[in-house]
DNA sequence: CCACTTCTCTGACTATAGTCAGACAATGGA
DNA sequence: TCCATTGTCTGACTATAGTCAGAGAAGTGG
């Protein structure tokens, strides 16, 4: 398998990587072209550009100056914050970006053209599969503090999804709470999943001395569902629980969350009698962990 | 489809391209690392390195000097030709290359690790498919002179394959000839297929004023069979024939060439009575071309 | 043997990419 | 209001990649 991945890497970087740079940079240096592309039709704060392209602020400033000099970009102070500056494409810059867009299409077309219709279908299908699985593999799971902005945004998204999906809506105040302190070692822990730095999922554990651990806050962003991320989070939580000497994991869930329920069943959880009085729960599950 | 290819390109260059450079270059500049890799365990002529990496001779020379200075490479005159110099890895250089190899494995492993067993299988299967089809799409078909070295090597390989596969062997002298002049416009033409500059297939056309055109020299290198290249060559030959005003294409073949025979049938050729006295032929085919 | 080509090397360039320190203005919290 | 922080910019660097012209040795065909 490793050999296959290496062969793939070689073929693809030769065919796609080499070409795409050459196609994208028309006359203009690659750095400028990338920047032009990243600014986008609606403009973008310089700060955002810096983090997205991971550039040194001095270097980025100089790149912007050269694009400005060529009449492709204007940079003005942002209204909201006088320190921040916003880069916007001029009419000329927009045309240039459209040209890059066209070239990107040309590159894709040049790959498809030599193939028969059947081969094109097979290629794009396989590309979609590779893309999805590479995305899945790029998701990183790390334990993080409940007060971390990434964790906060996941939990927030989780609550608002529950509010949408539960028949009766969802108000965190009525539910059994899991405070920051309860999800912070050694009382518990919280895992955050990130894709290219953006939070895309979470899962938490409440540990109870000698008693079963509780799994909470299992959530996966809609954009990355179907990539096995829920399963990965669950497996990781179980492993952490087992590492703390816990032998049983427990959780409760609402009947509206069908995918979650089938995940728990598939992962070896069996339904048990209610072990708490969570008002939003319809099902209670339990699993014995192997040390 | 174009959109899918573009998404694929973006994901893959982010995940694979960026990482692979970083993994490969350990301390050392990327150019040096690539060169070290390309020299390989058995050494390599400088001339070959230049064409394979497509480098300026001055630049390559300097890269070799720096590797030599670091004690990774020795460069000596080749025995066969005093002008050519051969680069060889020292023991230290071999160790360095092994390290690059290990890093390449690590990169592949880092992609596979986060995935489940089922996902890994799906990923490698899809990668193999993409790789094959990208290879297919990278094959270029161009008309070329029969005396061109690429054409010569294809025809040579074709003859030696026939000698192996025909029950009675194959001697070009006994077969109906197709001289260079007959395969040169306007009398005829020869198409060569190349992959990364290496010849991997051919096909030729003999035109006869007002009479059916003859298809000859259809051959595809074993390494690229199953990529639809035979079909592409045949289609291209038919198109060229039609463009010359020919309405019928003809060919004869030996019963040992089963794949070829099914290709002809699938492409719309129907078997006809022998239209010549080619001693090695068992089947004669004909197809009406659409203008 | 001579002219021509091939192959490699050196010297002298340029361009792109990127780093680092520090200046300066705007902001936000104490 | 002051002070630390944030965001941007300039100046002064370095490293990598790459180009081009020409020198000189070795081979090649007539």
> pLDDT of A253-276, one tens digit each?
998 899 999 999 999 999 999 888
Q: Where are the alpha helices (DSSP H) in B91-148?
A: 91-112, 117-138
> Which of the pair, B290 or B205, is modelled with greater confidence?
B205
pLDDT digits (tens, 9 = 90+) for B174-233: 888 888 888 888 889 999 998 887 889 999 999 988 889 999 999 999 999 999 999 999
Residues of B in contact with A15 (CB under 8 A): 134, 137-138
Q: Is the pLDDT of residue A147 over 60?
A: yes
A39 or A18, greater pLDDT: A39
Q: Which residue has the tokens 């080619």?
A: B278
Is A89 in contact with A100 (CB distance < 8 Å)? no
Which of A109, A115, A131 has the CB atom closest to B133's CB atom? A115
Regarding predicted confidence, which is higher, A93 or A167?
A93
Tell me how far apart the terminal alpha carbons of chain B are, to the nearest angstrom.
30
| Structure token pair of residue B149 | 């070295």
Contact B136, A119 (CB under 8 A): yes
A15 touches chain B (CB under 8 A): yes
Helices A117-138 and B117-138 pack at an angle, to 10 degrees, of: 140
| Alpha carbon of B113: minimum distance to chain A alpha carbons (Å) | 8
Determine what percent of chain B is predicted with pLDDT higher than 90: 51
Q: What percent of chain B has pLDDT over 70?
A: 97
Q: Is the pLDDT of residue A52 over 60?
A: yes
pTM of the model: 0.83
Distance (Å, rounded) from C-alpha B32 to C-alpha B178? 48
- Cis? peptide before A169, omega within 30° of 0: no
In angstroms, the CA of A81 and the C1' of D3 are apart by 19
CB contact under 8 A, B228 and A119: yes
Q: pLDDT tens across A168-198, in order?
A: 888 878 888 888 888 888 889 999 998 877 8
What is the C-alpha separation between B251 and A69, in angstroms, rounded? 63
Q: Is B156 helix (H, G, I), strand (E, B) or coil?
A: helix
Residue B102, number of CB atoms within 10 A of its CB:
11
Pick from B1, B112, B131: which is nearest to A112 by CB?
B1
Residues 214-253 of chain B with CB under 7 A from strand C are none
Calpha distance B206→B241 (Å, rounded): 9
Residue A291: pLDDT band with limits 50, 70, 90: low
Quick one: angle between helices B30-39 and B91-112, nearest 10?
A: 110
Alpha-carbon gap, residue B205 to B185, rounded angstroms: 10
Q: Which phi and psi angles does A83 have, rounded to 5°?
A: -80, -40
Q: Looking at residues A7-34, what average pLDDT do you find? A: 79
Separation in Å: C22 C1' and B28 CA? 31
Query: What is the CA A47 to chain-centroid distance, rounded?
Result: 21
First to last CA, chain A: 30
- The pLDDT tens digits of the residues spanning B55-74 come to 999 999 999 999 999 999 99
Q: Is the CB of B52 under 7 A from strand C?
A: no
Nearest residue of A to residue B140, measured between CA atoms = A114
Q: Inform me whether the C-beta atom of residue A56 falls under 8 Å from chain B C-beta atoms.
A: no
Cα(A256)–Cα(B166) distance, integer angstroms: 69
Nucleotide nearest to A59 (CA to C1'): C18
Beta bridge partners of A211: A208
Q: Does B276 touch chain A (CB under 8 A)?
A: no
Quick check: A4 and B133 CB within 8 A?
Answer: no
Question: In chain B, positions 122-181, which contact chain A (CB-CB < 8 Å)?
Answer: 122-124, 126-131, 133-139
Per the CB < 8 A criterion, the answer to whether B253 and B214 are in contact is: no
Residues facing residue A283 across a β-bridge: A253
State residue B291's pLDDT score: 56
Distance CA B116, CA B123 (A): 10
pLDDT tens-place string over residues A224-263: 999 999 999 999 999 999 998 899 999 999 988 999 999 9
Amino acid A86 CA to nucleotide D6 C1' distance, rounded Å? 15
Q: Is the CB of A167 under 7 A from strand C?
A: no
- Three-state SS string over chain A comes to CHHHHHHHHHHHHHHHHHHHHHHHCCCCCHHHHHHHHHHCCCCEEHHHHHHHHCCCHHHHHHHHHHHHHCCCEEEEECCCCCCCEEEEECHHHHHHHHHHHHHHHHHHHHHHCCCCHHHHHHHHHHHHHHHHHHHHHHCEEEECCCCCHHHHHHHHHHHHHHHHHCCCCCCCCCCCCCCCHHHCCCCEEEEEEEECCEEEEEEEEEEECCEEEEEEEEEECHHHCCCCHHHHHHHHHHHHHHHCCCCEEEEEECCCCHHHHHHHHHCCCEEECCCCCCCCCCEEEEEECCC
Q: Kindly report each contact of residues A57-62 with a partner whose C-beta sits within 8 Å and lies 24 or more positions away, as own/partner.
A: A60/A35
pLDDT classification of A18: cutoffs 50, 70, 90: low
Least confident of A214-228, B9-23, B226-240: B9-23
Interchain CB distance below 8 Å, B127 and A5: yes
Smallest CA–C1' distance to C28, residue: A81
Helix (H) or strand (E) segment spanning residue B222: none
For B245-282, write each residue's pLDDT tens digit: 899 999 999 989 999 999 999 999 999 998 988 888 89
pLDDT band at B173 (very low <50, low <70, confident <90, very high): confident
| CB contact (8 A) between residue B115 and residue A134 | no
- Give dist(CA A232, CA A136) in Å, integer: 10
Cα gap A94→A37, rounded to integer Å: 9
CA proximity to A24, closest of A100, A126, A106, A99: A100
Q: Express as a percent the part of chain A with pLDDT over 70.
A: 97
DSSP bridge pairs for B205: B189, B215
Q: Are strands A188-195 and A140-143 parallel, antiparallel or unpaired?
A: antiparallel
């Amino acid at each position: 398998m490793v050999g296959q991945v290496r062969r793939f890497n070689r073929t693809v970087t030769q065919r796609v990587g080499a070409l795409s740079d050459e196609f994208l940079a028309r006359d203009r240096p690659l750095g400028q072209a990338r920047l032009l592309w990243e600014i986008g039709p609606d403009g973008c704060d310089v700060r955002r550009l810096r983090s997205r392209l991971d550039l040194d602020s001095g270097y980025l400033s100089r790149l912007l100056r050269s694009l400005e000099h060529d009449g492709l970009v204007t940079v003005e102070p942002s209204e909201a914050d006088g320190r921040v500056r916003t880069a916007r494409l001029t009419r000329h810059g927009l045309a240039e970006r459209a040209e890059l867009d066209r070239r990107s299409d040309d590159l894709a077309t040049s790959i498809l053209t030599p193939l028969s219709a059947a081969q094109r279908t097979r290629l794009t299908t396989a590309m979609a599969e590779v893309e999805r699985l590479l995305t899945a593999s790029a998701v990183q799971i790390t334990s993080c503090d409940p007060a971390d902005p990434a964790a906060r945004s996941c939990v927030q998204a989780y609550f608002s999804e529950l509010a949408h999906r539960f028949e009766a809506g969802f108000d965190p105040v009525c539910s059994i709470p899991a405070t920051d302190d309860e999800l912070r070692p050694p009382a518990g822990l919280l895992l955050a999943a990130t894709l290219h730095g953006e939070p895309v999922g979470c899962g938490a554990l409440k540990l109870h001395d000698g008693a079963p651990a509780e799994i909470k806050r299992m959530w996966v962003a809609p954009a990355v569902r179907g990539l096995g991320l829920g399963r990965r989070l669950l497996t990781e939580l179980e492993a952490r629980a087992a590492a703390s000497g816990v032998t049983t994991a427990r959780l409760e869930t609402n009947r509206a969350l069908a995918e979650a329920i089938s995940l728990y069943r598939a992962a070896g959880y069996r339904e048990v009698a209610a072990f708490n009085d969570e008002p939003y729960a319809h099902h209670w599950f339990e699993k014995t962990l192997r040390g």
